[in-house]
Structure 1
Amino acid sequence: MRLADSILAVNDDLPIRTNLPVHSGKVRSVYWLTEQDSRRLIEEKGYDVAIDSPLAIMVISDRISAFDCIWQGENGLKGVPGKGAALNAVSNHWFQLFKDNGLADSHILDIPHPFVWIVQKAKPIMIEAIARGYITGSMWRAYEKGERDFCGIALPEGLKKDQKLPELLITPSTKGILKGLDGVPEADDVNITRANIEEHFEGFNFSSTDDIAQYEKLLKEGFNVISDALADVGQIFVDTKFEFGYVSDKAGNEKLIYMDEVGTPDSSRIWDESEFNNGNIVENSKEGFRQFLLNHFPDPDILLNKERMSERSALARNNALPVDAIIDISNTYLGIAEKITGRKIELSQNPKEEIVEILKTQYGLVD
């Protein structure tokens, strides 16, 4: 089998029955089921959702994005072998651990295949809920420039790069472009303060101001559950991004849940603990790939400067990365996923064919 054949790069062309356009993001594609199929599956599978809840099939891919671009490798590698299965396996593991620890539910109702989730429609909170245990990344870059107010939080003097912070900090940013909110820039992924959220809680899709504290509680609890579990396998949970939303259960009660993915190498920084204790940073997350890109191209400012987005897009489009770099990131994703789950991640020989077969025979979603 060619390595390229094991990669699911295009995931928006599956023959899943839907009467809406397929939404394709950087990594996942979403197929909204028909009202009839949603109702049928809720009844057949006994999902704990209202009978009229819209359901979707969410299919992950092996594509890799960094700096808001999709990257490719030589020899026709349009993604990273094993990446999709690794991401889903990690999220599934953490969501189950959240349930075991009495935290909130997630949007996932069923897992038909390692690449596939069946999810319920949620009303998303328009916040990238970021928690930081160490000062690194964008927070360090701002601190190094002299900024001491980060998302409305006063930072003390004397912090060092990659140092553990005195306490876990919540540093939210916008999810999407929000318009008409005084004091909130009309741009995606810009830092905001808790005061911004309180002032415009409805604009961020919160049902009440009380739910702001609830999302912060769930963020901290989720972070701590993952951090403790990673410590057991010699890893440090450095920082992460969660997403939240509202759904209604079978009885019609609204509840705040975890959405998207949690604690994955895509959404988090994870460091090797023994290396860190020896003064080295070994990334077990996509951050290692970002660092590779910054070192690989002669002008890293293209990747960091949002005003050079057209040049950055051309860089990603016109450059096939070395196979060794793709294999390195594959090993990182598979390695950390296997550490976390305690199980080997098996690579599918033809994931698209498997997905179609399962959704046809076991779920009746393919004609």
Structure 2
Amino acid sequence: MVLADKVLVVNDNLPIRTDKPVHSGKVRSVYWLTASDSARLIEEKGYDIPANTPLAIMVISDRISAFDCIWKGEDGLNGVPGKGMALNAISNHWFTLFKEKGLADSHILDIPHPLVWIVQKARPVMIEAIARQYITGSMWRSYSQGERDFCGIIQPEGLRKDQKLPELLITPSTKGILTGLEGVPEADDVNVSREDILRHLEGFNFNNEHDVSLYEKLLKEGFEVISNALAEQNEIFVDTKFEFGYVKDAAGNDKLIYMDEVGTPDSSRIWEGKAFEQGNIIEQSKEGFRQWLLNHFPEPDILLNKNRMPERLALASDNLLPQEIMMMISDTYIGIAEKIIGKSLPLSLHPKQEIIDVLRNEYQLID
């Protein structure tokens, strides 16, 4: 078995029945089901949502992105073995824990295959909600250059790199380019304050002021749930990104939910606790790969400077990474996933065919 056969790289060409274009992101592809297939599955599977809710099949790939680029390996290994499965397993675990603890639901209705979710249509809140427990990464770079105001929250003098912050810091940023919002730059991923959000509730897709407080509550409580669970494994939850949205409940009312993914090595920094106690940082997330890229290429400014995006894209397309680096990433993702979910994560041998078979035989979504 060739290693490259075990990874799912192209995930937007599955023969799933749909009447809309497939939306393909950096890692996931979304197939919107027809109205008739959505209604049929809601009835057959007993999903507790309105009968006319649009459903989608969300397929995760094993692609690896960093610095807004997709990176590929030598010998046709264009994805990281086990990465997609690890991300889904971790998110499923945390989403389930959130629901058990009475926090909020997620957009996931069903899991036909370890690489596949069936989700209900959500109206996303247009912020990426970042929660930080330690000062590192971009926050440290800004702090070390004199910045003290982070999304309207003033940080004290004298903080050291990788130090625990006095309290959990929420630094929301724009999700996509938002236009016409006074005081909010028309750019993707720019920091905004709580006051910005309250001034432009509709622009950020919030229903009301109460839901701004609710998202902050769900963010803090979700962070605490993950942080406490990881601490039991002697792992440190450093920072993470949460995304929220609205879906309809069974009665047709809006409810705020967690969406996208949560607490994964793609969306979070996780440090090995024992090493940190000894003064070292061992990354258990994509951050380790980012650091490798910065150290590997002679001009790291290309990766850090948004104004050099054409050079960055060329760097990614012109340089196939050594297979041992792709497997190092695989070990990181699978290792932290198995620690979190408490069981082994067997790799698919033929992931694309497995997905086709289950969606055809058990869900009748492939002709």
What's the TM-score once normalised by structure 2's chain length?
A: 1.00
Cα separation, 2, equivalents of 1:299 and 1:319: 14
1:163-242 matched pairs, under 5 angstroms? 163-242=163-242
Deviations 1:206-258 (A, max 9, x none): 00011100000000010000000001111000000000000011111210000
Cα separation, 2, equivalents of 1:346 and 1:188: 37
- Counterpart AA for 1:87: L
How many angstroms does 1:72 deviate by?
0.4
Residue 106 of structure 1 is matched in structure 2 by 106
2:225 is equivalent to residue 254 of structure 1:
no
- Counterpart AA for 2:151: C
RMSD after superposition: 0.5
- Counterpart AA for 1:48: D
Cα separation, 1, equivalents of 2:99 and 2:250: 18
1:53-132 matched pairs, under 5 angstroms? 53-132=53-132
- Counterpart AA for 2:104: A
1:11-90 matched pairs, under 5 angstroms? 11-90=11-90
What's the TM-score once normalised by structure 1's chain length?
A: 1.00
Residue 349 of structure 2 is matched in structure 1 by 349
Cα separation, 1, equivalents of 2:150 and 2:98: 29
Cα separation, 2, equivalents of 1:332 and 1:70: 18
1:287-298 matched pairs, under 5 angstroms? 287-298=287-298
5+ residue gaps, structure 2: none
How many correspondences in the alignment? 367
How many angstroms does 1:318 deviate by?
0.7
Displacement over 4 Å in runs of 4+: none
Cα separation, 2, equivalents of 1:320 and 1:209: 48
Cα separation, 2, equivalents of 1:242 and 1:113: 24
Cα separation, 1, equivalents of 2:318 and 2:73: 11
How many angstroms does 1:48 deviate by?
1.1
Deviations 1:327-353 (A, max 9, x none): 101000000000000111111010000
Deviations 1:142-182 (A, max 9, x none): 00000011111101000000000010010000000000111
Identity percentage of aligned residues: 73
Cα separation, 1, equivalents of 2:39 and 2:144: 54
Deviations 1:1-58 (A, max 9, x none): 1111101000000000000000000000000000000000000111111111000000
How many angstroms does 1:303 deviate by?
0.2
- Counterpart AA for 1:245: G
2:263 is equivalent to residue 266 of structure 1:
no
Cα separation, 1, equivalents of 2:253 and 2:19: 28
Q: Give the 3-state SS of the residue equivalent to 2:52 in structure 1.
A: coil
2:263 is equivalent to residue 245 of structure 1:
no
Cα separation, 2, equivalents of 1:137 and 1:302: 17
Deviations 1:183-212 (A, max 9, x none): 111111111111110111110000001110
Q: Give the 3-state SS of the residue equivalent to 1:311 in structure 2.
A: helix
Q: Give the 3-state SS of the residue equivalent to 1:309 in structure 2.
A: helix
Deviations 1:246-284 (A, max 9, x none): 001111121000000000000000000010000000000
Residue 329 of structure 2 is matched in structure 1 by 329
